[in-house]
Homo-oligomer: A and B are copies of this chain.
Amino acid sequence: MAERHPSLERLRRKLSHYVETPTSEELEALTTTFGPLQSVPRGAWITTQDSTPTRCSLLVSGFAGRSVLLRGGEQQTTAVHVPGDFIDLHGLLLNSIDHGIVAFTACEVMSAPVASLKAVVDDHPPLGRALWFLTIIDAAVHRRWLTVLGRRPALGRCAHLICELYARLDDVGLVERGRFHMPLSQARVGEILALSAVHVNRVIQELRARGLVVWERGLLTVLDFDALAAVGEFDAGYLQLQPAARGPETSRPSLGARALARSA
């Protein structure tokens, strides 16, 4: 039953980006460790800062992010999560987490007890390696954002964020004809990009003026992905979405070449 759930299918797909595609038995073992679907209202904290993780959560629907509260009251978001993502897999091995997880929109999550998940990983080494792989991709995303925050002006940061979300959402089937739901307020985007909400607004207007995106009422349409990627110096390689470069190339068309709404 649970295997049918679309989010587990998304997780399966994500895991299959690693060289060793998980078997159905492994997926079954993983699936049964998760508890029931839980709803989290928009704006709520799914986990709180400085707590000891006891469960690991899978985001089924909605957007969420890892946020750090600073003394000055500012907030930096260090990761954005989309459906199909493990939100806090790193909590499996850490004793304390220095950030909280906020539901950017109303979310549905499923969580598994740390102990059970460890047991599953012990019984299925390839699965363990696949989860390790997920945490390593997470780190690669962090590194990319270090260069984005460190070296790129506001416009490039924003373009990069849009491109990354496009690629990741597309990977889990949430982009349709160049359009996807982008329910983050400009203030939240500012928390991600390390910009003020005011400046985010100006930057978005610039992207609109250049004819790169249409973004209104939570719906974002990418008009010219290649141009947007050029502005953001975006290259999807770090996301490791292509299944196993060590094997033969897949015939999946590239992001840029695929259906962009410009033609719609």
Q: Which residues of A contact B (CB under 8 A)?
A: 18, 52, 66, 68, 70-72, 74, 76, 78-79, 90, 93-96, 98-99, 122, 125, 128-129, 132-133, 135-136, 138-140, 142-147, 149-151, 194, 233, 235, 237-238, 240, 244-246
Residues of chain B within 8 A (CB-CB) of A70 are: 147, 151, 233
In the docked arrangement, what's the CA distance between A235 and B245, Å? 39
Instruction: Decide yes or no: A140 and B237 within 8 Å by CB, A132-B132, A146-B76 being known contacts.
Output: no
Asked if residues B194 and A140 are in contact (CB atoms below 8 Å), the reply is no
13 A-B pairs with CB atoms under 8 Å apart are A90-B140, A93-B132, A93-B133, A94-B140, A98-B140, A98-B144, A125-B125, A128-B132, A132-B132, A135-B135, A135-B139, A142-B143, A145-B146
Residues of chain B within 8 A (CB-CB) of A150 are: 76, 149, 194
Most central of A18, A125, A135, A136 by chain B CB within 10 Å: A136
Number of copies: 2
Asked if residues A147 and B76 are in contact (CB atoms below 8 Å), the reply is yes
Give me 6 other A-B pairs in contact (C-beta within 8 A), A95-B244, A99-B143, A142-B146 excluded.
A68-B147, A94-B136, A122-B125, A125-B125, A139-B142, A146-B146
Residues of chain B within 8 A (CB-CB) of A135 are: 132, 135-136, 139
In the docked arrangement, what's the CA distance between A50 and B91, Å? 30
Residue from B18, B90, B147, B244 in contact with A78 in the complex, judged by beta carbons closer than 8 Å: B147
Q: Closest B residue to A91 by CB, please name it.
A: B136
Asked if residues B133 and A233 are in contact (CB atoms below 8 Å), the reply is no
Residues of chain B within 8 A (CB-CB) of A138 are: 139
Cβ of A87 to closest chain B Cβ, rounded Å: 14
Asked if residues A78 and B143 are in contact (CB atoms below 8 Å), the reply is yes
Q: Closest B residue to A18 by CB, please name it.
A: B93
In the docked arrangement, what's the CA distance between A99 and B142, Å? 13
Instruction: Decide yes or no: A245 and B136 within 8 Å by CB, A74-B151, A145-B146 being known contacts.
Output: no
Residue from B74, B95, B128, B145 in contact with A128 in the complex, judged by beta carbons closer than 8 Å: B128
